[in-house]
Amino acid sequence: AQKVTQAQTEISVVEKEDVTLDCVYETRDTTYYLFWYKQPPSGELVFLIRRNSFDEQNEISGRYSWNFQKSTSSFNFTITASQVVDSAVYFCALSEGRNAGNMLTFGGGTRLMVKP
Amino acid sequence: EPEVTQTPSHQVTQMGQEVILRCVPISNHLYFYWYRQILGQKVEFLVSFYNNEISEKSEIFDDQFSVERPDGSNFTLKIRSTKLEDSAMYFCAEKGGLGGYTFGSGTRLTVV
């Protein structure tokens, strides 16, 4: 069975600080996909990144970066120089297996509050 | 980027009433999903739908829930007899050919 754990329920930082959101996953499959979604106060789910289990390269997109480590089953997300607009709930999610239609299992989310 | 449209954005219903939540998918996608999020909690999978039938469902998706794609376009979630604990945000999602999941903006259901 698949499981995603986001141990940090809430993080508060001051603007311009760097912040890392942790994500640990469990799966028995060797093929899987990991995702991060942002949920701003307006409620929608905004896709940030998708990573497959065979690609352990870290990725950077502007102020966002992701560190995927299979050895520790982690897929952490770092925001550099945080801004107030980054305030949201962030969800890590896992999709298991080779089947194209497999559902997403979400972690419990981390609420990030960036104060001016 | 194409959007997944959900209607209504907010629905208030009385306990015991039937509700139908609608999703207008992106036309060339194959897999459709419903998820729900009780206020302040995580997003939970309800059901996946492929080729006009259910391919997978969770324990939450009991007999009071049903899904269909009646006219080949809209994708609906019906809750037959709503309960207070059905109050949540319901998200429709689709999976495209490149493996990305696109979520609709959600329907907030309030059962009173």
B54 interfacial to chain A (CB closer than 8 Å): no
Residue B97 or B10, more confident: B10
Query: How many angstroms separate the CA atoms of A61 and A65, rounded?
Result: 6
Range of lowest pLDDT (A20-29, A74-83, B24-33, B44-53)? B24-33
Q: What does the pLDDT read at residue A100?
A: 54
Using a CB-CB cut-off of 8 Å, the residues of chain B touching A37 are 103
Predicted local confidence at residue B4, as pLDDT: 86
d(CA B57, CA A103): 9
Is the pLDDT assigned to residue A101 strictly greater than 80?
no
Which tens digit of pLDDT belongs to each residue from B24-65?
887 667 788 999 999 989 999 999 988 888 989 999 999 999
Pairing of strands A110-115, A10-14: parallel
B52 touches chain A (CB under 8 A): no
Q: Is the model more confident about A97 or about B8?
A: B8
Token pair in block for residue A49: 């990144």
Range 52-81 of A in CB contact (< 8 A) with B: none
Residue A98 has pLDDT above 70, yes or no: no
* pLDDT tens by residue, B15-25: 999 999 999 88
CB-based contact B19:B108 (threshold 8 Å): no
What's the pLDDT score for residue B71? 75
For residue A1, pLDDT over 90 is answered with no
pLDDT for res B73: 78
The Cα–Cα gap between A65 and A59 comes to 5
The whole-angstrom distance between B49's CA and the closest CA on chain A is 9
Q: How far apart are CA A54 and CA A43, in angstroms?
A: 32
Q: Is the model more confident about A24 or about B98?
A: A24
Residues B26 and B51: their CA atoms lie apart, in Å, by: 15
3-state secondary structure B42-93: CEEEEEEEECCEEEEECCCCCCCEEEECCCCCCEEEEECCCCHHHCEEEEEE
Q: What distance in Å separates residue B106's CA from the closest CA in chain A?
A: 7
Q: Which tokens belong to B1?
A: 């980027």
Mean pLDDT, rounded, for A61-76? 94
- Tell me the pLDDT tens digit for each residue of B91-106: 999 886 666 788 999 9
